[in-house]
Structure 1
């Protein structure tokens, strides 16, 4: 594998892993290469992101590397997030949002377990629309990101606090999470909590 191919593989892995990032050890295991080789390629790739006029950077957070947007470009990304906030959410995003709203703080893997499918795209959508955010890190292996709702979530649904979330029936089980999400949003609509825009 050439250096360029290795860097392309690293870049792809960082993209696929998303906000959780990937540790150097995980990269080495995935690529079946030594720490020295992978770290050198990663550092050169990270340097190329800082040297070039690019909207992304590679950052290290809690011993994990991830792709993120450059802070100096944040005003553009905020405009995008605010404009897309008005558009509808997919069923997957609605389910994910309901789970996070009621069970926060919660990791992506815990959301995946409740839904029975991967939720990374839905979490990315909800994060980009400022409805959820990182609220910390869980204890344990890899210290996964914990997600919770934002003030924009409360504002969007006309809530003053999370205590105003409509109660869910006690007999709802995890295998019917789609129904749980539908019930959540039906109750929100009946309570006139959606902003009409």
Structure 2
């Protein structure tokens, strides 16, 4: 067997050698050459050599411009909502290495910090996630509360309307007005923070009396309970729905606790 047209000597003849198929080639005859397989992304990652500082910007440019890749990564992070690994991002972008992905992630993180953006890039659960900064929590919680209010079922809204107009009111009185069990509805409103126990009725065995909270006002965009729709407004609504069927009119009447039962 020959390498580079020169005979391969036995390992005993040349102590500094590398074994090839049971034979040995002297180091002076076989210079070190870069091994393409040893430089793959998987091997470099396992050795911890995938740091962007070790490869330079040229590797990113070999796939696509860094700004273009960063924009695509940002879009993925924006819609995903959960931590996503650099390997998964690389697969979605159809690039063979995570190195340019991590370069662009670092680029995005710097941009968010330098621009004072509302977003920050967090490394969580072996992945990356786009998050909002803590100083915006109060504003975002307000939006979340409004969305939660819109998701309330008709039955829960009906129960909430009875409490809002007749507070403080006991659960038994709520059920008397609605004509059906309301225990699970009251629990749901307590969990949402829309109602609370405001006082106790000593004449009924210290029964809890419920009323609305400031959270209720914020969620429905009210400054005070005085901004609740008036009886005249509800009557007008009932008149407008008069042709829509008796069931709908009855529902409006239930939501108007001031109407004599």
* TM-score between both structures, scaled by the size of structure 2: 0.34
Ranked by relative contact order (alpha carbons within 8 Å, sequence separation 6 or more), the top structure is: 1
User: Larger helix proportion, structure 1 or 2?
Assistant: 1
Larger Rg: 2
Q: TM-score, normalised by structure 1?
A: 0.45
